[in-house]
Amino acid sequence: MTHALWTMPFTGENLLERLQCHALENGSRPALVSAEGQTVDYGTLWSVVVGIAVGLMGRGGKVGQRVFLVMDGSLASVLMVLGVMRLGGVAVLMDPGLTMTQWSGRLRDLSPEMIVAPREILEAIAHLPGEKGVALELSDQMVDRLVGDGVGETPPPFPVHDADILILATTGTTGIAKYVTLTLGNISASVHHINKTMGLMSSDIEVITLPLFHSFGLGRLRCGLSMGCRIHLLPGRFRPERLLKEIQRCGASVFAQVPAGIRLLLVLGQRVVPWLQSVRLVEIGSAPMKVEEKERLMALMPQARLWHHYGLTEASRSLFLEYHQAQAMGCLNALGQPPVGVEVALRSESGEVVTHGVEEGELLVRGPHVTPGYVVSPGDRMAQCGGERLWFATGDWVQRDSLGYYHYSGRVDDCINLGGFKVYPSEVERALATFPGVADVAVFARDAGQGMQIMALIQCDGLRPFDENKLRDWLQTRLEPYKHPQIYRLVDALPRTPSGKLLRRELPNLVGG
């Protein structure tokens, strides 16, 4: 199958090879610790992963087969996804909270040949139309049974680097599911450049509270296992006190979280400091954070390197920003810079693609970590960004400064054209968000009978009354006049995804008309 030219061959050790190496060289080192306290070392981990792969073969599993796997963060789910990868199957990771409507859509679109899920989910989806294939209960007992079935049998060959290994569903802010295909080379390349950039070490202990059916949490799992770290799994709804207790209990040196979770930690203020003393690395992603929030986190964790990534499910972690370094360079509001191994370019309004010189344009990415394409129907993949397919188009309009940092302006499709003047909602939102009393803000364009006008939806923090006139005066020195909203409306809350991404398509519904 021909890959798009924006994804390049990965030539290093892949994730499975790294796991086998750890098993042979440091087999007694702890690899995974479940929320219940069960520990699996690297030797046992690899043995179980191979056993699952062989056991799945005995149940009809084969190379290239799509396996729906409910990734609930349990130890069994982690072992199963690694087993499917070792088999050479394609793991389609499922959110345990999917509705029956969403399940119907996944079954229709992807036609699995095997489903691994908790019993209650298997029973709930049994009546749904569509091909389901072999059904296996996700449980510790099923893991043991598969491993037992595989005793004495020959394991399958290792998957090759360009073999499809994962399918992740992503909607971004569109609400329409896209199915992103990732190869073994893709996920191994991203692990390599993430670990090299952040400086992860085999002696690190990481607590993972992020959902493992999303790219961010799954990426942290892969990074830790590839490096030979000890990983503590804490699935379920994020609670800051639970994270803090686990960090102190196990002496964790690494954790990751989305900005919404970081804000819950910031609410606790100085009280978190003694609980976080052992932490030396933090990764943040999936949504932006205000500069003021970054500064507060830096003050609470001066000993830690605080990394914020920019990336998509299609191109994991394509830019990185380390807060302390960026502050020293005066670039704390930037998206970051590309790590070694990731190439970026800008596409100007005229369509010209350049890697140097031009200061703004649509961000384009290529490298061995970039998806070869999307699933559009069973057995097919589709590539994006036409022409020569040399670059993957992110859809984000950015500015590049003289230091090589990239700054977010907005989505290409969200750009508001006011009589030839271009306004990016994100730029206006960043300015409004720093006004005292504004807890959250969103900007969009609407036709109010006098042509297109900019409307700002304001969620107040409740600490002071909102004064529109003061806000208008305050904006005079911060934004060009044509970027100022003409209409302001107060709202109770803005529509956001669990990871904090703004659902722009729903904004007009808040004001009607």
Distance between CA atoms of 181 and 161, rounded to whole angstroms?
A: 13
pLDDT of residue 448: 63
pLDDT of residue 449: 63
Per-residue confidence in pLDDT tens, the chain, 513 aa = 445 677 778 889 999 999 999 999 999 999 999 999 999 999 999 999 999 999 999 999 999 999 999 999 999 999 999 999 999 999 999 999 999 998 999 999 999 999 999 999 999 999 999 889 999 999 999 999 999 998 888 999 999 999 999 999 986 544 567 899 999 999 999 999 999 999 999 999 999 999 999 999 999 999 999 999 999 999 999 999 999 999 999 999 999 999 989 999 999 999 999 999 999 999 999 888 989 999 999 999 999 999 999 989 999 999 999 999 999 999 999 999 999 999 999 988 778 888 877 688 999 999 999 999 888 744 444 434 444 468 999 989 899 999 999 999 888 878 787 766 778 888 899 899 989 999 999 999 887 666 778 999 999 988 888 899 999 999 998 888 889 999 999 999 999 887 677 888 888 888 875
Distance between CA atoms of 374 and 317, rounded to whole angstroms?
A: 18
Count of helices and strands (H, E) across the chain: 14, 26
Question: 3-state SS of the chain: helix, strand, coil percent to 5?
Answer: 35, 25, 40
User: Can you tell me whether residue 473 is helix, strand or coil?
Assistant: helix
pLDDT of residue 450: 63
pLDDT of residue 173: 47
Residue in this structure with the two tokens 């609407």, named with its chain if needed: 446
Distance between CA atoms of 30 and 204, rounded to whole angstroms?
A: 11
Taken in order 171, 176, 177, 179, the sign of the CA dihedral is: negative
Q: What is the 3-state secondary structure (H, E, C) of 317-352?
A: EEEEEEHHHHHHCCCCCCCEECCCCCEEEEECCCCC
Distance between CA atoms of 61 and 384, rounded to whole angstroms?
A: 31
Query: How far, in Å, are 190, 250, 324, 484 from residue 223 at the CA level?
Result: 9, 19, 23, 43
Distance between CA atoms of 365 and 311, rounded to whole angstroms?
A: 10
The token duo for 490 is: 């107060």
**Please, are residues 5 and 367 in contact by the beta-carbon 8 Å criterion?**
no
Q: Model pTM?
A: 0.84
Distance between CA atoms of 157 and 63, rounded to whole angstroms?
A: 9
**Please, are residues 256 and 282 in contact by the beta-carbon 8 Å criterion?**
yes
pLDDT of residue 501: 78
Beta pairing, strands 343-347 & 360-366: antiparallel
The token duo for 194 is: 């993430």
Burial (CB count <10 Å: 0-12, 13-18, 19+), residue 42? buried
Distance between CA atoms of 60 and 58, rounded to whole angstroms?
A: 6
What is the Cβ-side half-sphere exposure of residue 73, based on CA atoms within 13 angstroms? 22
Distance between CA atoms of 226 and 14, rounded to whole angstroms?
A: 9
Domain boundary assignment for the chain: 15-400, 415-510
Taken in order 107, 112, 113, 118, the sign of the CA dihedral is: negative
Closest CA relative to residue 91, chosen from 208, 181, 18:
181
**CATH code given to domain 415-510:** 3.30.300.30
Q: 15-400 sits in which CATH class?
A: alpha beta
75: phi then psi, degrees, rounded to nearest 5: -60, -40
